[in-house]
Amino acid sequence: MNSLSILRSGPSIARALGLIKASNSIPHNTAFSFSPRPLECRRALSSVKATNDEEAAARVTAVDADTGAPTIFDKIIAKEIPSSIVYEDDKVLAFRDISPQAPVHVLIIPKFRDGLTQLGKAEQRHGEVLGHLLYAAKLVAEKEGIVDGFRVVINSGPSACQSVYHLHLHVLGGRQMKWPPG
Ligand code: 5GP
């Protein structure tokens, strides 16, 4: 979750994150505040902080996951906020991620959430739309010219750093992917 989406998600999440960040902040008497460190070391520290922020954000958003509250993706479906749409049919919408992690990074969501806040909440009745989402991923990969090699990711729940509780597939490609993922 980036800062833009946190702000868009509403003041409660932003406030809660502020609290979490405050409670996680590094005490002033640690070595970090007065000991200059090599650039690589400072980079490593900032990447650890970013990771911790992602995890903290995921825990905060998970609290409201099943209240049925609208998410930022409902506003995208309703075209209340703009998005760069790549593919759309009556069941799914595919649009570019606001914070791309690869040259191609497209999100595919069901238009009707129907309880699918995350994959971990899937029930048998969702089988058709889940299959359709995967097929749409292949159509998006074809459209984006990456059908020969692409990755589909679903983050489900706070341990996977899910940040928006409306089921979505990430379609990633356009560069060499690494394995194992982080
Ligand atoms: P998650 O972390 O839940 O698996 O993925 C949520 C994704 O939604 C993130 O990659 C994030 O960048 C993306 N996202 C959050 N807010 C917006 C938005 O307002 N517009 C778009 N296009 N993507 C968003």
For a mutational test of ligand 1's pocket, the pick from 55, 59, 88, 97, i.e. the residue with the most ligand atoms closer than 8 A to its C-beta, is 97
Q: Are 169 and 107 in contact (CB under 8 A)?
A: yes
More confident call, 13 vs 180: 180
Decide if pLDDT at 44 tops 80: no
Question: Which position among 28, 126, 166, 168 bears the catalytic label?
Answer: 168
66: left (phi over 0), alpha (psi -120 to 50) or beta: alpha
Predicted confidence band of residue 42 (pLDDT cuts 50, 70, 90): very low
Overall average pLDDT of the 109-120 stretch:
97
Overall average pLDDT of the 89-107 stretch:
98
Percentage of the residues of the chain whose pLDDT score is greater than 70:
72
Decide if pLDDT at 155 tops 80: yes
CA torsion through residues 138, 140, 145, 149, sign: negative
Predicted confidence band of residue 82 (pLDDT cuts 50, 70, 90): very high
- Identify the H or E element spanning 86: strand 85-88
Predicted confidence band of residue 49 (pLDDT cuts 50, 70, 90): low
Nearest-angstrom CA–CA distance, 48 and 120:
27
Q: To 5 degrees, how large is the angle CA 59–CA 108–CA 86?
A: 135
pTM to 2 decimals? 0.77
Do the strands 169-173 and 104-110 form a parallel or antiparallel pair, or are they unpaired?
antiparallel
Q: Are 168 and 73 in contact (CB under 8 A)?
A: yes
Nearest-angstrom CA–CA distance, 114 and 53:
29
pLDDT of residue 51: 67
**25-29, 71-75, 112-116: the lowest-pLDDT one:** 25-29
Ligand 1 interacting residues, C-beta cut-off 6 A: 1-2, 5, 8, 72, 83, 95-99, 107, 155, 161-164
Q: Are 83 and 95 in contact (CB under 8 A)?
A: yes
